[in-house]
Amino acid sequence: MIHTQYSKKTIKLKAENKAYLQAEAGLDIDPDALVIGMVSRITETKGFPIITPILESFLKEHPKAQFVLLGTGEIPTVHALEKIEAQFKGRMKCFIGFHAFIPNHIYAGADLFLMPSRMEPCGLSQMIAMKYGTLPLVRQTGGLKDTVQNYDPITKRGTGFSFFNYDTTSLWFTLEAAYNLYHQDKKTFNKLRVKVMEENFSLARQAKRMTELYHLVTGEKVTVTARHDV
Please give the average pLDDT of every successive group of 10 residues along the chain, which has 230 residues.
96 98 98 98 98 98 98 97 98 95 97 97 96 98 96 96 98 98 97 95 83 90 64
In angstroms, the CA 172 to CA 119 distance is: 19
d(CA 77, CA 79): 5
Q: What is the rounded CA–CA span in Å between residue 108 and residue 15? A: 9
* CA–CA gap between residue 230 and residue 225 (Å, rounded): 12
188 strand-pairing partners: none
Bridge partners of 157, per DSSP, are 152
Residue 204: Cβ-neighbour burial (10 angstroms; 0-12, 13-18, 19+): exposed
How far from 156 is each of 134, 153, 180, 219, CA to CA, in Å?
A: 17, 5, 14, 38
Q: 196, 166, 149: which is closest to 8 by C-alpha?
A: 196
What count of Cα atoms within 13 Å lies in the side-chain half-sphere of residue 33?
A: 24
* 3-class SS letters over 166-195: CCHHHHHHHHHHHHHHHHHCHHHHHHHHHH
- If you count them, how many residues does the chain have? 230
Contact 37, 50 (CB under 8 A): no
Q: Decide if 193 contacts 135 (C-beta within 8 A).
A: yes
Rounded to whole angstroms, the Cα distance separating 40 from 115 reads 8
* Rounded CA separation 117/94 (Å): 19
Strand partners, 136: 113
Q: What is the pLDDT of residue 58?
A: 98
Q: Are 128 and 107 in contact (CB under 8 A)?
A: yes
Domains of the chain listed by start with CATH number: 8-199 (3.40.50.2000), 201-230 (no CATH)
Residue 164: strand, helix, or coil: coil
